[in-house]
Amino acid sequence: MHLSTKKTKDQFTFSKLWIFEEVLFFCALFAWAYVRGQEPSIRGLEKFMDFGFTNSALRGEYFPPKDMWLAGKSINYYYFGHVTGAVLTRLSNIPSYIAYNLILASIFAFGMVQSFSIALNIAYVGFKKHAKLALLTATIAMFLVNLGGNLHTAYSLTEGYPNEKPVPLWELAPKYTVADLASPVASFEKLAENYWYPNATRFIPLTIHEFPIYSYVVADLHGHVYDIPFVLLTLALLWLFFEGSTRKNDYIPQWLYALLLGFMAAIHYMTNAFDAPIYLILTLLLFCGI
């Protein structure tokens, strides 16, 4: 993005933007560290498994790390994300049981800043360098990417269905009657009855479709969570390639894009294998001008 060094109405300076994003990162990091601080235990769901993988990488003398549950065997999982977490733990010299939650808070902070920056760059070009519109768009995008869910919450207005056995919304009886609406407080308290929030990630047949805020809340440091910053970095590189290809004076040669994006595809494969074909295909389509 080409930022102006002049203080005009519709443009902003690089220094102000840099300071803002640093402050944004710190605030997001502090906010989610505070959230995790309310219940920092590493138990329930699959947190203990992710914690074990990180500790195996910390103790390991070679790769792949040893499986902490099956003696003599190595981890049978894409574990590169856990290795990055182990590296951060070792560099910070913080005990892994504390670093676990700080890593989650860091991923949340990276997700907020990266999505904001990518959207800001795209909107700044799309809105012909109109700073206010670009900032508004970037802010909305940041919240949607990291804190947005899906329309499954409409099921909270119905009597619900058995877990992981979705029923079309229109086939369910409504939870409220006209009389219920006369008591707003009681209606609000009744909203959570028969509603199980993990179902929002499992109501499309034959898929598990988690979204970032769900992963942040349940706090499982799976490969797909570790891959969030890498995915956003790949999208940033793809935008630079796309935007640069429309200008004759792109300052990054195309062979370097190919090298960097190929490297990122390998990172995706090692961190969350299912992401690799998705972004590799997207990269190839963009390179082919489709």
pLDDT tens-digit readout, 5-25 = 445 445 567 788 889 999 999
* 271 falls within a domain: yes
**Pair 18, 128 in one domain:** yes
Nearest CA-CA partner of 50 in 217, 276, 288, 221: 221
**Pair 117, 7 in one domain:** yes
Q: Domain tally for the chain? A: 3
**Cβ neighbours for 272, distance < 8 A, ≥ 6 positions apart:** 78, 81, 222, 223, 224, 226, 227
* 222 falls within a domain: no
Decide if pLDDT at 248 tops 80: no
Specify the 3-state DSSP secondary structure of 101: helix
Stretch 98-124: mean pLDDT: 96
**Pair 168, 120 in one domain:** no
CA 251 to chain centre: 29
The CA dihedral of 72, 76, 81, 85, to the nearest 10 degrees, is -30
Handedness of CA 151, 154, 155, 156 (dihedral sign): positive
Phi/psi region, residue 220 (left: phi>0; alpha: psi -120 to 50; beta: rest), is beta
Q: What is the C-alpha to C-alpha distance for residues 248 and 250, in angstroms, rounded to an integer?
A: 6
pLDDT tens-digit readout, 143-170 = 999 999 999 989 988 988 888 788 888 9
Q: What is the C-alpha to C-alpha distance for residues 40 and 48, in angstroms, rounded to an integer?
A: 12
Q: What is the C-alpha to C-alpha distance for residues 287 and 242, in angstroms, rounded to an integer?
A: 9
CA 29 to chain centre: 14
Q: Which of residues 232 and 242 earns the better pLDDT score?
A: 232
Residue 6 belongs to what domain range? 1-149
* 220 falls within a domain: no
**Pair 160, 268 in one domain:** no
**Pair 141, 8 in one domain:** yes
**Pair 112, 42 in one domain:** yes
The whole-model pTM stands at: 0.89
**Cβ neighbours for 108, distance < 8 A, ≥ 6 positions apart:** 28, 29, 31, 32, 146, 216
Decide if pLDDT at 31 tops 90: yes
* 218 falls within a domain: no
* 273 falls within a domain: yes
Q: Among 128, 149, 170, where does a domain finish?
A: 149
> What letter represents residue 124's amino acid?
Y
CA 138 to chain centre: 16
**Pair 10, 110 in one domain:** yes
Q: Do 283 and 246 meet the contact criterion of CB atoms below 8 Å apart?
A: no
**Pair 133, 4 in one domain:** yes
**Pair 144, 162 in one domain:** no
Stretch 215-242: mean pLDDT: 95
Stretch 22-32: mean pLDDT: 97
State the alpha helices, DSSP H only, in the chain.
14-37, 47-59, 80-92, 96-126, 131-147, 184-190, 212-218, 223-226, 228-245, 254-271, 275-287
**Pair 39, 83 in one domain:** yes
Percent of the chain with pLDDT over 90: 59
* 90 falls within a domain: yes
Q: Do 175 and 156 meet the contact criterion of CB atoms below 8 Å apart?
A: yes
Q: What pLDDT shows up at residue 4?
A: 44
* 221 falls within a domain: no
Q: What pLDDT shows up at residue 12?
A: 61
Which pLDDT band, with edges at 50, 70 and 90, does 215 fall under?
A: very high
Counting other chains too, the contacts that 8-15 makes at CB distance below 8 Å and 24 or more residues apart are 10/129, 10/130, 10/131, 10/132, 11/129, 11/131, 12/131, 12/135
Q: What is the C-alpha to C-alpha distance for residues 257 and 240, in angstroms, rounded to an integer?
A: 9
Two structure tokens written together for 125: 């070009």
Q: What is the C-alpha to C-alpha distance for residues 81 and 73, in angstroms, rounded to an integer?
A: 19
* 215 falls within a domain: no
**Pair 5, 110 in one domain:** yes
| DSSP symbol at 260 | H
Two structure tokens written together for 59: 């103790």
Percent of the chain with pLDDT over 70: 93
**Pair 162, 275 in one domain:** no
> What letter represents residue 115's amino acid?
S
